[in-house]
Amino acid sequence: MKTSIVRPTQYRSGEITNQSRRGFSSYAKALIVSVFSGLMLTVASVSVQADPELPQYSGKARLGTQTCGGSTCHGAAKPWANSAVLQNEFVTWSTDDPHSGAYDALSSDRGKRIAKNLGIEDARQEEACLDCHTDNVPKELRSKNFDVADGVGCESCHGGAVEWLGLHVSGFGQREDYLNAGIYPTEDPKARAKLCLSCHLSDPRKSITHRIMGAGHPRLAFELDTFTANQPAHYRIDADYKQRKQQSSGVKVWAVGQAMAAQITVEALMDKNRNSAGIFPELFYFDCYACHHSMEEPRWQKRESVNIGPGVPRLNDSNLVMLRVLANAVDESMSARLLEQTRALHESSSKGQEATLRALADLSTTVDALVETFASTEFDVTAMWKIYDSLVAEGLKGEFIDLITAEQATMAIGSVLAAIEMTGADADLNGYNEALLKAYAAIDNSKTYTPAKYTAALQSLAAARQ
Ligand code: HEC
Ligand code: HEC
Ligand code: HEC
Ligand code: HEC
C-alpha cells in the first residue's frame, strides 16, 4: 500500500529524484478497510522458518521467469478482479522493475566501461557480475525455459519453483506447504533483508570490492523499507494477504534491515579472506566520502560517536548510527553499549588489527542480539514518534554530518513517517513532506552537500512536529 509520504523514486549514489506519491484522501479510505480487516485476521498468519537459505544457494531447479509469466498465470495484462494475487506481476516486473534489466546493465555503456577498467572482456560472462545481475544458479539447475538474460527474475527472489509449482497450480497448498517446498519467505523482514542485502550490500559468496567501485560501479546505498517501497509493487497487501501472510510495519522492516546491514558489515570486516589483499583493508566498507572529496574546502568536523581525529579513514558506520537511535526506543542500555562499542571500533583503526578484531567481536554480539530484538518487536505509534524525535535530535547534535549517514537518516525518517501514516493514528502528515523534501534535496549531490544544509532540513523536520 502506498502512502502520501515522499520517497525517492530512484536512488543512485548522488543522484536522487523525488516524487510525491498519490494524495492523502484516496489513501485514507483504503486504510480504514485494511486496518479493520487487519485486526480480525492477523492471528491466522503463518510464521516462517528462522533462517532460510538464499534462493541462489538453495539448490532448487529453475523453471524460468517465462514459466511464471504465462497469461493465465502471472502474466495477465491487468490485475484480476477476484484473485488473491494480482496476476499481472510479470508485466509490472518486465516493464517497471529495474530488476528485469539487471543483466542488460552489464552490456550498457557503463557496464562496458566497468568491465574494460577491470580487464574483463564481457561482464555478461563474469561470475562476479552475474552473481548480482541475474539468477546465477549452476547450469544443472537451469531448465530449458530459463534465460540468464531475464536478469533478477521471479525465482531470484521467490526461490526455484521446481518443487512448489505443482502445489501452486493445484491451488491446494497452504503457506507452510509452500515454504517446505522451497518458496522463499519474502514477507518475513529478516528473510527479506537477507535476500535484498545479499545483492545491495554484500554476501561472503559474492564479490563486491572497492576495485569494482573504482572501475565505475555505482555506490551501493540501501535501506530495506525505502527500497521495498520503491520496487514497483507487484503485490497488494489486502485482507486476503493478511490472512495468508505475516505483516510488518515499515519501522520494523527498516529496523531489521539496519541491524542486518550492520551484521553483514561487521562480519565482512572480520573475514580475513576479504581483508588481506595489500596494504589497505577492503575499502568498500569504509565511508567513501571520508576519502573522496575536494580539499579546497576542509570539511572535517567532530562527531560524538567518532572519537578519532581528522586524517583517519572512517568505516561506514551509518547503519550503526541508525541502530543506536533505534535501540534507544527499545532498550536504552543497549543504545549506550552500541555507542561505546562503535567508538571503540573507530579508535581501534589506529591500534592495529588485533584491536580491530576485538572491537568487531564485541560489536558483533550486540548487533546479533539487536537483529533478534527488532525481529520480535512491534513498534506502536508512540514508539514510532519517539524514534522520529530521536532521529531529528541526534541529527541536530551533529551525528549525521557525513553524507552517507545523512542519506540513511533521510530514508529512515521517510520510512517512519510512512509507517505512522499507515497506522491511521495521525490523520494528516502531508505537512512533513516539505521538510522531508528539503532533506532529500540536501543529500541530492555529493559535490554540493554540506552539513549546514542538512542541519537546516533537520530544523524544518523538528518544526513540522510542533
Ligand atoms: C554485490 C552485488 C553486485 C555485484 C557483485 C555487481 N553489481 Fe552491479 N549493481 C548492483 C546493484 C545492487 C546495483 C544497483 C545500485 C542502485 O541503483 O542502488 C548495480 C548497478 C550496476 C550498474 C548500473 C545500472 C544502471 O541501470 O545504471 C552497472 C552498469 C553495473 N552494476 C555493472 C556491474 C558489473 C560490470 C559488475 C561486475 C564487475 C557488477 N555490476 C557487479 C549489484 C552488484
Ligand atoms: C527483487 C525481488 C523480487 C522479484 C524479482 C520478484 N518478486 Fe514477487 N515479491 C517480492 C516481495 C518482496 C514481495 C512481497 C512480500 C511477500 O508477499 O512475500 C513479493 C510478492 C509476490 C507475490 C505475492 C502476492 C501475495 O498476495 O501473496 C507474488 C504472486 C509474486 N511476488 C510474484 C512474482 C512474480 C511472478 C515475479 C516475476 C515476474 C516476481 N514476483 C518477482 C519480491 C520479488
Ligand atoms: C540477485 C540480486 C538482487 C536481489 C536479490 C535484489 N536486488 Fe534489487 N537490484 C539488483 C540490481 C543488479 C539492480 C540494478 C538494476 C539496474 O538498474 O540495471 C537492483 C535495483 C533495485 C532497485 C532500483 C534502485 C534504483 O536505483 O532506483 C530497487 C528499488 C531494488 N533493487 C530493491 C530491491 C529489494 C527491495 C530487494 C529485496 C526484496 C532486492 N532489490 C533484491 C539486484 C538485486
Ligand atoms: C581510504 C580512502 C578511500 C575510501 C574510504 C574509498 N576510496 Fe575510492 N579511492 C581511493 C583511492 C586511493 C583511489 C585511487 C586513486 C585514483 O584512482 O584516483 C580510489 C579510487 C576510486 C574511484 C575511481 C576514481 C576515478 O577517478 O576514476 C572511485 C569511483 C571510487 N574510489 C569510489 C569509492 C566508493 C564508492 C567508496 C565507498 C564504498 C570509496 N571509493 C571509498 C581511496 C578511497
DSSP for residue 215: T
pLDDT, residue 446, reads 86
Identity of residue 199: C
Residue 46, pLDDT > 80, answer: no
What does the pLDDT average to over 81-90? 84
What does the pLDDT average to over 282-302? 86
Closest atom of ligand 4 to 280 CA is 1
Closest atom of ligand 2 to 85 CA is 26
pLDDT, residue 415, reads 95
Q: Which of 30-34, 257-261, 361-365, 374-378 has the lowest mean pLDDT?
A: 30-34
Band the pLDDT of 383: cuts 50, 70, 90.
Answer: very high
Cα–Cα dist 319/29, whole Å: 35
Q: Output the CA 216–ligand 1 centroid distance in Å.
A: 10
Which residue lies with its CA nearest to atom 43 of ligand 2?
Answer: 157
pLDDT, residue 463, reads 95
- pTM (global) more than 0.75: yes
Residue 426, pLDDT > 80, answer: no
Q: Output the CA 293–ligand 4 centroid distance in Å.
A: 10
pLDDT, residue 297, reads 77
Band the pLDDT of 23: cuts 50, 70, 90.
Answer: very low
- What is the fold of 45-247? Flavocytochrome C3; Chain A, domain 2 (1.10.1130)
pLDDT, residue 15, reads 38
**Each residue of 236-285: pLDDT tens digit?**
888 888 888 888 999 999 999 999 999 999 999 998 888 766 666 789 99
Angle made by CA atoms 190, 61, 203, in degrees to the nearest 5: 40
Which has more pLDDT, 204 or 308? 204
Band the pLDDT of 404: cuts 50, 70, 90.
Answer: very high
Closest atom of ligand 3 to 198 CA is 5
Which residue lies with its CA nearest to atom 36 of ligand 1?
Answer: 129
232: how many CB neighbours lie within 10 A of its CB? 13
What does the pLDDT average to over 74-98? 87
Cα–Cα dist 134/396, whole Å: 41
Closest atom of ligand 1 to 101 CA is 26
**Each residue of 49-68: pLDDT tens digit?**
568 999 999 999 999 998 88
Closest atom of ligand 1 to 108 CA is 29
Q: Output the CA 324–ligand 4 centroid distance in Å.
A: 28
pLDDT, residue 8, reads 67
Ligand 4 contact via 312 beta carbon (within 6 Å):
no
Q: 15: number of CA atoms within 13 Å, CB side?
A: 4
Which residue lies with its CA nearest to atom 22 of ligand 2?
Answer: 235
Could you tell which of 12, 129, 274 is best to mutate to test the pocket of ligand 1, judged by most ligand atoms within 8 Å of the CB? Answer: 129
Q: Output the CA 455–ligand 3 centroid distance in Å.
A: 30
Q: Output the CA 93–ligand 1 centroid distance in Å.
A: 18
- Which residue in the block uniquely carries the three cell numbers 534507544? 328
Ligand 1 contact via 106 beta carbon (within 6 Å):
yes
DSSP for residue 46: B
What does the pLDDT average to over 206-234? 93
Ligand positioned closest to the Cα atom of 221: 1
pLDDT, residue 278, reads 61
Q: Mean pLDDT over all residues of the chain?
A: 86
Which residue lies with its CA nearest to atom 3 of ligand 1?
Answer: 132
What does the pLDDT average to over 300-325? 88
Residue 47, pLDDT > 70, answer: no
Q: Output the CA 356–ligand 4 centroid distance in Å.
A: 22
pLDDT, residue 17, reads 35
Which residue lies with its CA nearest to atom 14 of ligand 3?
Answer: 102
Cα–Cα dist 136/28, whole Å: 42
Residue 359, pLDDT > 70, answer: yes
Which residues does 177 contact at the CB level (< 8 Å), separation at least 6?
167
Which residue lies with its CA nearest to atom 19 of ligand 4?
Answer: 214
Residue 461, pLDDT > 80, answer: yes
pLDDT, residue 277, reads 60
**Helix/strand/coil percentages in the chain, nearest 5:** 55, 5, 40
DSSP codes of every residue in 427-449: S--GGGHHHHHHHHHHTS-TTT-
Cα–Cα dist 136/56, whole Å: 7
Whether the CB-CB separation of 318 and 399 falls below 8 Å is answered with no
Q: Which of 106-110, 162-166, 300-304, 398-402 has the lowest mean pLDDT?
A: 300-304
Band the pLDDT of 48: cuts 50, 70, 90.
Answer: low
Identify the residues whose C-beta falls under 6 Å from ligand 3.
10-12, 98-99, 101-102, 105, 132-133, 152, 156-157, 192, 195-196, 198-200, 227-228, 230-231
> Is the four-CA dihedral 53, 56, 62, 67 of positive or negative sign?
positive
Which regions of the chain carry the CATH code 1.10.1130? 45-247
Which residues does 119 contact at the CB level (< 8 Å), separation at least 6?
none
The rounded radius of gyration (Å) of the Cα atoms in the chain is 22
Band the pLDDT of 375: cuts 50, 70, 90.
Answer: very high
Band the pLDDT of 30: cuts 50, 70, 90.
Answer: very low
- Which residue in the block uniquely carries the three cell numbers 538453495? 58
